[in-house]
Structure 1
């Protein structure tokens, strides 16, 4: 049985690689486009539920543009729908936001009107260097807030901690709102480590099994939940209980998840 989240097929069209494997009216190679809004909901169906989110500058593959909706696949393999107006022709993005958030200003002046608010990991194309700003395709951004795409972070925990206090959002993938698997995906992706969007998929491919005492950077999985250890006893996770990304003793998290009826941890992984 195919997983709709990572299978680029909707009955009308399917990726050329799926010819002979799934039924579709036509098979297409798709074409690249780029997300042009700071944060975009990635929907299961047109006008349907949010599965995940995509950030500005993300390059995706479009398989169908129909009635204002594009059927697309993201770089992490996720498949879904975004509004066609939220896509533009790809640019050669060169930098990403390396802080919790920043602003792109309309002028080379922090007192000028912000043209756009950008979350962590938003990608932009630098056009020119100024004294204190990078001139980008979306406005002037502080040099202190951008990081070259060829300089990923080295420590996923440091990235995860950027998200401390971010409000919980089911299916969220940004510092405007994030869920448990979104936090793991954001933290690993910023370090150049490929990572799916949902915890069950992450559990299948992330790291190696951990035996013995947990340590900093280990990832603990439950059925429907996931968090990352910041030391041997403390977990950082995006939780719907406090409705935020918080630090908690892992023993407390284990006990609460069991009380909620979801059982104990199903896997512990080390990167």
Structure 2
């Protein structure tokens, strides 16, 4: 785990522009060295790379244990640490640059680069290369591991054995984001979640696109810059449909696949039903449609 504040240097005050604090690490007392000359801060720190050792961990908006979880870090994902205080690390998730606080005890030095990713919604870790052996734990889709071939069914990974049907090489990607998202049907809605145990709308989009090798930011307003605009509103499977503070995949020409707080679940339902629920609040519930 990180045990000390990374090297920091004092910098003179400069005229500050305020970038998005969700993806640019700066506080009143400290900022990422990459932001020197962009924001005002008394100190700038060079980030130190770590990786998560737990199956998943919340990325919180504040250091308190009960602070809102704004995202989730998955096992093996890299987290660049800028500061450690009171057992809590402040920094950002490397893959999407999302800023927040993570339990420092769950982080370790970056070590070797992972070779594989979890490709199933959940992958069990067995004590032996045998499906009847003790289950040591589980990892969520998108978790990163170092795996070594054992036999035609199992790979040695994560302190045990993972079935090879549940993993894929880092550069081996799925083809259909909507098909990946379908694997999460019935998953409980969880603000900030990115796993089969609980997921939010933009987390579902990020995980599904990531499984297909498509870089994707964390929040729905950021995701609205992906792909190209579909101006004629002739929907196709896989189109991203955006609403105020919400996003989902078109499952086909008329139905939306999305994680939502109305059903508190990931569901497929008619797009017209979603629009109808929002019409009392918004004149134009659909704010954008993007095609990748």
Output the CA distance in 1 between the equivalents of 2:49 and 2:151.
Answer: 31
What residue is the counterpart of 1:146 in the other structure? Answer: 167
What residue is the counterpart of 1:83 in the other structure? Answer: 103
Output the CA distance in 2 between the equivalents of 1:183 and 1:76.
Answer: 14
1:238, distance to aligned residue in structure 2 (A): 0.5
TM-score, scaled relative to structure 2: 0.88
Cα contact 1:223–1:263 (8 A) shared by 2: no
Selected match of 1:33 from 50, 60, 63: 50
Aligned residues: 270
Is 2:227 aligned against 1:210? no
1:114-158 deviations in Å (ceiling 9; x for gaps): 111111111111134234210013321011111111102121111
> What SS does the aligned partner of 1:259 have?
coil
Is 2:61 aligned against 1:61? no
Q: CA RMSD in A?
A: 1.5
> What SS does the aligned partner of 1:211 have?
coil
Alignment of 1:10-21 (within 5 A): 10-21=27-38
- Runs of 4+ in structure 1 off by over 3 angstroms are 259-263
Output the CA distance in 2 between the equivalents of 1:41 and 1:263.
Answer: 33
Selected match of 2:59 from 38, 42, 56: 42
Output the CA distance in 2 between the equivalents of 1:188 and 1:78.
Answer: 17
1:108, distance to aligned residue in structure 2 (A): 2.2
Cα contact 2:87–2:105 (8 A) shared by 1: yes
Output the CA distance in 2 between the equivalents of 1:182 and 1:194.
Answer: 13
> What SS does the aligned partner of 1:158 have?
helix
Output the CA distance in 2 between the equivalents of 1:159 and 1:131.
Answer: 24
What residue is the counterpart of 2:219 in the other structure? Answer: 198
1:248, distance to aligned residue in structure 2 (A): 0.5
What residue is the counterpart of 1:233 in the other structure? Answer: 254
Cα contact 2:142–2:210 (8 A) shared by 1: no
Output the CA distance in 1 between the equivalents of 2:196 and 2:24.
Answer: 27
Selected match of 1:100 from 121, 146, 168: 121
Output the CA distance in 1 between the equivalents of 2:199 and 2:102.
Answer: 18
1:78, distance to aligned residue in structure 2 (A): 0.6
Of residues 194-203 and 20-29 in structure 1, the stretch that sits farther from structure 2 once superposed is 20-29
1:83-133 deviations in Å (ceiling 9; x for gaps): 101101223211111112121112222222211111111111113423421
- Which has the higher Rg, Structure 1 or Structure 2? 2
Q: Which runs of 5+ in 1 are unaligned?
A: none
Alignment of 1:154-193 (within 5 A): 154-193=175-214
Of residues 6-15 and 248-257 in structure 1, the stretch that sits farther from structure 2 once superposed is 6-15
